[in-house]
Structure 1
Amino acid sequence: MASDHLSLAAELLVITAQKRVMLTCAESCTGGMLAAALTDLPGSSAMFDRGFVTYTNAAKIALLGVRQATLDADGAVSESVASEMAVGALTRSEAHLALSITGIAGPGGSEHKPEGRVCFALATSKGCKAETQEFGAIGRSAVRQAARDHALHMLLTAVHDLPHI
């Protein structure tokens, strides 16, 4: 399973090249793991424009345009913040598709936002959709890897559904 992210990235590289699609990502709890997976392969500059690692709320606001009101109302680990992160990354890049990740890798969490909860959002010029995954209290490293791999699967599905650019 350790190299599964490499095979997903390799598949993405082929499909994005065929469709001439560029990707970007905005990451919080994964701290750049998605960007690293997308750039592990030679030729990845053909599919990856840039990545944003916005670990703090201040970084989310400054680099991605996440609204303070959204953070205050819903917290950083929410589909609304994930959506604003994805839209912000898309509008601040040359990409056709943006994926964001924000979550609680652990240890810790609360009754309302447990360890292992990760919110994702995918933005294109046609809109944005968000989802939440509950990976559980499987440990910080495992949550981060699961989030990276889930994001790669989301990107693959989305790229398959995109028309040629």
Structure 2
Amino acid sequence: MTTAFTYSTTYLLDKSHYIETYEASVPADNSKKVYLIAILLALVGLAVLMLTEINAFVAWFIIALGGLEVFSIRFKKPWWLARQLISKAANTELTLTIDEHGISSKSIHVKSTLAWTDISKIEVTENGWLLYHNDSKNYLSSRALSDEAKAFLTTKTQLINALAI
């Protein structure tokens, strides 16, 4: 008789965890298309400034929005990381449990369970797994997992991705 698989571990939601999560889950977009909105805002602002008699404040405001858009694109990762590090979950311990039913996370602020049946696709990354469900995704780092837990997740990945095809 085989026993059901259960694995539990506790780790800290620290800066290195958030950096790994960001790098695995946010696709890098180095194309020039991401700056299109910023360029359009700047051009509209210049057109309003030079071609109309509207108050110059409005034109400079639109140009400043274009600059702010460039700033938000350029510093996307540090901004996201700063928001995570000032959240109430930062530097707290998270207990992760993986079993036959799904993946559960429990901390002082959050208690959630993601059932295997709710996961539509699992993508293996360099340092973990991206779990796709209900138009969103979660990242599961492999650095806190045992070899048995990694093998279990690899098996679940094959099963879930085979059903998705």
TM-score, normalisation: structure 1: 0.24
TM-score, normalisation: structure 2: 0.24
Q: Which has the larger radius of gyration?
A: 2
